[in-house]
Structure 1
Amino acid sequence: MTTTVHVRGVDLGIESFGDHDAPLILLAGGTTMLSWPDALCERLAAGGRRVVRYDLRDSGASTAGDPEAPAYTLRDLAADAAALVGTLGGGPAHLAGIGVAGMVAQVAVLDHPEAFSALTLAGTRPVAPGPVDDDLPDHDQAALGRLFSRPQPDWSDRDEVAEFAAAGAEVLGNDPGAARETAARVWDRTPGDDPQVHAANQLGMVFSRLDCRPRWRERLPGLARPTLVVHGRRDPFFPVGNGEALAREIPGARLLVLEECGTAIGAGAVEEVAEAMLALG
């Protein structure tokens, strides 16, 4: 079931799976909810969980402003996650964030520990967008050069956008067919016909403009929730050393490296990821 929920003065697009009375797993989109594969949501629900995936602000069905100048911060997105648990009921929740939403998830559990019982971090890192700490691997520059040197598509053309995503998936270590399908679905869910808004939804551009201060990495040793860190071995955007650092710095965290995956959770990894998340709580 897909709908919107009003929290903290904004509407957040959500989709629910499973029994309403089951323990809640909240999946923060990176930036849209479709970053979390349907098959994973369905498998978690079959494992006895209520699964809710949602769009961050300025993506999908959530409240849209100006993605080039967001009037909110990373802390606001973290507070949205905690407020969403309260509105949905059934908390504390197992919170999961993928990609840039993994940054949201870290801050949410650190700032609002009462709302969350467990944490899954997929394909993310312990610092904000921008210059990386000296001990962390930065983006693979050759891959980023290939990714960002491509001609931009006509963002108002659904087919062009889908093909652009498929070509980018090859650079990011992902399945081009799955990326093409997801991009088309993201395009269909984007409100209006403004090409800039379509581009922002596809690329998660808001995070390049977001105020992510203050740092949170130094607080990770105090994160007292069961944690799973999932990372693709082939991820060139946030190389696997970032996931390894998270697993070292969060007490008791388990690291699950997906040998054949890049930035996305591929179809072949769904069962392994689901089992690890269900074991966490």
Structure 2
Amino acid sequence: MKLTANQFSFEVVDAGDRSAPAVVLINGLGHQLTYWPAKLIDALLAAGYRVIRFDNRDTGLTQSLGSVANPNFIWFMVRNHFGLPATPPYTLQDMADDVVGILDALAIASAHIVGISMGAMIGQRLALAAPGRVLSLASIMGSSGAAGLPGPSLAVIKRLRQRPPKEREALLDHMTAMQLLIGSPAWPADPATIRRQMAAALDRAHRPEGFMRQVIAIAADKQRAGLLAGIRVPTLVVHGKADPLIPFPAAEDTQRRIPGARLLAVDGMGHDLPPGLCPYLAGELVAHFGAHT
């Protein structure tokens, strides 16, 4: 369904008993609401929760910025790196405000917030700006954004530096290779299955300009680490020890900065949500929600 929040039209899927405690799932960079594994959603629904997914702005079937021009990416990154004025088209705080707008549109006073990767960073911003709307926070595969944390593996950096092809089949090859590269070694994915998932996502929506705007929003969010001590909502930090995109020390740093946060380290987990891990992850999330409802 479509909901209007912060002058954007959002694509939202709202499942479960409307009177049940709500869980809001916030996607990562460029991911659509279809990214969330059915096994995870079904487990949360079976545990008695109302589960809300949505396409972030500039992603999927949600409204994009359209004709708004992106800043020169390289020039923006250079200026941002050296602390020179560099204004992004929008910020992670704007995206956190989107979540508040969606909660308002659904008449939900507060919810458990679960964010993955960029979504974890958005969740942190939300917990800082609107703690009254957050029953609990689960920051999965995220980072504090602090300077000096280790970056992606060399293999991931090499892949990230490759310009995505424009031709469909080559683009699918590129997307599939990237997903397999950052996946969980303990739960290896079938390449054919991943390729089908990438094809379905590509057919649903393809927003390369929005992807770049979200990269810029992440890069511009340089002050968040110093603010995390102000989070007062119960927080669970979940991270894979085999994450090659956002290495595990980012989770340790996040947990140290958020008062009372608990760190759940998962052996063999990379930067994805493999179906085989979902029952365990859902159990941990439900226990976290239940302790803080």
Aligned counterpart, 1:44: 44
Residue 209 of structure 1 aligns to a residue whose secondary structure is helix
| TM-aligned CA deviation for residue 38 of structure 1 | 2.1
Per-residue CA shift, 1:130-179, capped at 9, x if unaligned?
A: xx512x2222233311x135563335x2x443332221122213434453
Unaligned segments of structure 1, at least 5 residues: 191-196
Distance 2:14 2:182 in 1: 28
User: Pick from 24, 27, 37: which aligns with 2:25?
Assistant: 27
Distance 2:4 2:251 in 1: 33
Distance 1:61 1:27 in 2: 16
User: Pick from 99, 106, 127: which aligns with 2:117?
Assistant: 99
TM-score (norm. length: structure 1): 0.85
Per-residue CA shift, 1:16-72, capped at 9, x if unaligned?
A: 222122100001111322332222111111110000111111001111124835642
Distance 2:26 2:178 in 1: 22
- 2:194 is aligned with 1:184: no
Distance 2:37 2:209 in 1: 20
Q: Residues 1-16 of structure 1 correspond to what in structure 2 (within 5 A)?
A: 3-16=1-14
Aligned counterpart, 2:174: 164
* Matching residue's letter, 2:24: L
Aligned counterpart, 2:233: 225
Cα distance change of structure 1 residues 116 and 178 upon mapping to structure 2, 3 Å threshold: farther
User: Pick from 129, 138, 158: which aligns with 2:151?
Assistant: 138
- 2:165 is aligned with 1:153: yes
Unaligned segments of structure 2, at least 5 residues: 72-87
Q: Is 1:16–1:51's contact at 8 Å kept on the other side of the alignment?
A: yes
- 2:270 is aligned with 1:262: yes
Distance 1:177 1:228 in 2: 33
Aligned counterpart, 1:57: 57
* Matching residue's letter, 1:179: I
TM-score (norm. length: structure 2): 0.82
Per-residue CA shift, 1:87-108, capped at 9, x if unaligned?
A: 2123310111111121111101
Q: Is 1:58–1:67's contact at 8 Å kept on the other side of the alignment?
A: no
* Matching residue's letter, 2:26: A
Distance 1:35 1:100 in 2: 14
Across the aligned residues of Structure 1 and Structure 2, the Cα RMSD in angstroms comes to 2.1
Percent identity over the alignment is: 28
Distance 2:57 2:165 in 1: 24
Q: Is 2:58–2:207's contact at 8 Å kept on the other side of the alignment?
A: no
Distance 1:67 1:124 in 2: 28
Q: Is 1:110–1:223's contact at 8 Å kept on the other side of the alignment?
A: yes
User: Pick from 168, 193, 208: which aligns with 1:199?
Assistant: 208
Cα distance change of structure 1 residues 268 and 153 upon mapping to structure 2, 3 Å threshold: same
Instruction: Report which stretch shifted further, 136-145 or 210-219.
Output: 210-219
